[in-house]
Amino acid sequence: MTTVFRNPPLIEMIAELRWSGRAQAGIPVIPPGANGPAEDMFLQWTARMGALGYEHVERLVPPGFPLPLDAPTLRVKQKSGAPQNTLFQLGPRLFTANATPPYLSWTEFAPTARKGVEALLAVRPEPEATAPVQVALRYIDAFREPLLDGQTPMRFLRTTLGVAVGIPPAITRHAKPTAEPGTLVQLSVPLADGTMRIQFAEGLAGDEAALIMDMRVSQTESVEPDAEAIMRALGRARSITHAVFMELSVPIADLMQPQAYEQEEK
């Protein structure tokens, strides 16, 4: 049994793997004449993902164009009629498993993410097949009405989330009296085995004013190319992001409408 929210601020959750591989130093792309191994990997991976129900393939980089090393080339989604709240992306040195609303819990999403990881590990070409991976987990939340509860994003950040931003008189004395400073706060927090980066920014969610919180936890040490080890690392990152979110959001817990959720046995 776990607690989920009927009105969560989540926009997207991204589990991310990166690794090193063949590339010429200083060149951030694979030129068309050298992309054979990557294209073979893409072909095998889309076949495996199709067998899992992710039959809709979107090519983000047109065939014949240079492939950016650290950006996705392909995106796969579930077939028409199936839930569309998960997708996967793959590039020459990047893999992501993404969840969007309605996202219920990490416990429910992790087995799906693992299938994508297993498909990736089965098709990476040599010498990348045995290369360790860097693991990161990212949550993007948009706090808008009714979660703002009538506050501006800046005031919500300060009074509800408890992130105080002090502006000295040397700046405020030049400000328009009736205006409030815009919001852009970036934090980098060292962890025992990684780094947590959080950015708060005033923005839009759809056409609504919102405070956007972008939280990313990455692990310093690379992880062996093993699905179990990778999922453990992602699980540790999720424990941190979850704890931070739950504590920050205590003042608006009722507005998020918590409810008990029990995952069905599969």
Render each residue's pLDDT in the chain as its tens digit; 266 residues: 677 899 999 999 999 999 986 555 556 888 887 888 999 999 999 999 999 999 999 999 998 899 998 899 999 999 888 888 999 999 999 999 999 998 878 999 999 999 999 999 999 998 889 999 999 999 999 999 999 999 999 999 999 999 988 888 898 888 888 777 777 999 999 999 999 999 999 999 989 999 999 999 999 999 999 999 999 999 999 999 999 999 999 999 999 999 887 665 44
Proportion of the chain in helix, strand, coil states, percent, rounded to 5:
30, 30, 40
Give the pLDDT of residue 266. Answer: 41
Cβ–Cβ < 8 Å for 217, 136? yes
As a whole number of angstroms, the distance between CA 96 and CA 15 comes to: 5
Q: What 8-state DSSP symbol labels residue 102?
A: S
User: Residue with structure tokens 């690379």?
Assistant: 222
**Contact predicate 24/56, CB 8 Å:** no
Q: For residue 248, which of 196, 191, 182 has the smallest C-alpha distance?
A: 196
- Its pTM stands at 0.91
In the chain, DSSP assigns E strands to 2-5, 10-18, 29-30, 56-59, 67-68, 74-77, 86-91, 94-99, 134-143, 184-191, 194-205, 208-219, 258-261
| Extended strands (E) in 78-168 | 86-91, 94-99, 134-143
Closest among 66, 46, 42 to 56, alpha carbons compared:
46
For residues 222 and 134, what is the distance between their CA atoms, to the nearest angstrom? 5
Question: In whole angstroms, what is the distance from residue 151 CA to residue 159 CA?
Answer: 9
